[in-house]
Amino acid sequence: MSIVDRLKTIDRRIIFVAISLAVIIPLLFPIGLPIMVSPPAQGLYDAIEELKPGSKVLLSFDYDPSTMPEVYPMNLGVVRHCFSKNIKLVGMGLWPTGVLLGQEAFELLAEEYGKTYGEDYINLGFKAGGIVVISAMAENIPETFPEDYAGTSIEEFPIMKGVKNFDSFGLAVCFSAGDPGVREWVMIAHSRYGKKVGAGITAVMAPAYYPYLQAGQLVGLLGGMKGAAEYETLLKYKGTGSAGMDAQSIAHSLIIVFIIFGNVIYFIARRKERKKV
């Protein structure tokens, strides 16, 4: 068997080991590559910066643990930004697991910023129904979410005093890993009720949402781990998004090397076959 044939049928375990090392080594020994901020990330940051202290932001946690490495750092970044500006946060979810991840983010940062549950932030929990839940919230939030995620009546929490519908919020941010998610928030909250909407989504979803961004239906967009890292750069701190970018850089580069190498092997093999014929 020639070298070309051997490379064509290379054991996939060698590729697996290479990609493992490309991810693990930069995580253990960070390189600290600088991150450039793109306009979509800047847009979301600016939208939150424009809000006055005491105003409210609605966060929709529409993702699950499988996409946590990408979306959770964005979630943390936005919560951190809002807490640092004394903006009150109302969380909820169209995905059941997202609610628990959002709560984790709240709990993690509430202590750091001295925030109290029910006064500075609240988690309304999961409600099934997707787009209908958003429509119902636009009409009446206390009727849609009469209790928080733990089953306590929302009337007991000062943060919910006077909250009727979307008019009570300066911005809605959806952290999404699929449907229902950003599309539904844009369709109802923005297009029908004129609410400003921002989004944090997985990298693979990002190209699909650029039309919404360009049309002004989204004020900003964080796409994948890069989006999270950009937001962390804007907030001037290093979180898991920034740390993950080193690993992602090396892994992407390795995949590109694989693509180029695979194609070189393919063309050499093809030329050989043509010569034989």
**Dist. CA 95–CA 20, nearest whole Å:** 30
| Strand-pair category, 56-62 with 88-93 | parallel
Nearer to another protein, 25 or 132 (CB): 132
Q: Considering only CA atoms, which of 89, 246, 234 is closest in space to residue 175?
A: 89
Binding to another protein by residue 194, rule CB under 8 A? no
**Dist. CA 262–CA 249, nearest whole Å:** 20
From the CB of 173, what's the least distance to another protein, in Å?
A: 21
Runs of H (alpha helix) within the chain: 3-8, 12-28, 39-49, 68-84, 96-113, 131-139, 141-144, 182-184, 206-214, 224-234, 240-276
A 10 A CB-CB count for 194 gives 9
Contacts of another protein in 38-67 (CB under 8 A): 38, 64-67
Binding to another protein by residue 226, rule CB under 8 A? yes
Cα 89 vs. chain centroid, distance in angstroms? 17
Binding to another protein by residue 253, rule CB under 8 A? yes
* DSSP 8-state assignment for residue 52: P
# binding residues, another protein (CB under 8 A) = 64
Binding to another protein by residue 236, rule CB under 8 A? no
Question: Which neighbouring-strand residues pair with 175?
Answer: 61, 200
Of the candidates 53, 162, 194, 207, which one interacts with another protein according to CB under 8 A? 207
Of the candidates 79, 172, 205, 206, which one interacts with another protein according to CB under 8 A? 206
Look up tokens 């929709």; give the residue.
Answer: 60
Binding to another protein by residue 69, rule CB under 8 A? yes
From the CB of 248, what's the least distance to another protein, in Å?
A: 6
Nearer to another protein, 164 or 252 (CB): 252
Tokens matching residue 163: 């909250």
From the CB of 274, what's the least distance to another protein, in Å?
A: 14
Answer yes or no: are the C-beta atoms of 37 and 234 closer than 8 Å: yes
Of the candidates 44, 78, 133, 173, which one interacts with another protein according to CB under 8 A? 133
Binding to another protein by residue 248, rule CB under 8 A? yes
Binding to another protein by residue 153, rule CB under 8 A? no
Answer yes or no: are the C-beta atoms of 217 and 43 closer than 8 Å: no
Binding to another protein by residue 88, rule CB under 8 A? no
Q: Interacting stretch for another protein, rule CB under 8 A, among 41-49, 50-58, 86-94, 130-138?
A: 130-138
Binding to another protein by residue 103, rule CB under 8 A? yes
Question: Which neighbouring-strand residues pair with 138?
Answer: none
Q: Which residues bind another protein (CB under 8 A)?
A: 10, 12, 15-16, 18-20, 23, 33-36, 38, 64-69, 97, 100-101, 103-104, 107, 127-129, 132-133, 135-136, 139-140, 144, 149-151, 203, 206-208, 210-211, 214, 224, 226, 245, 248-256, 258-263, 266
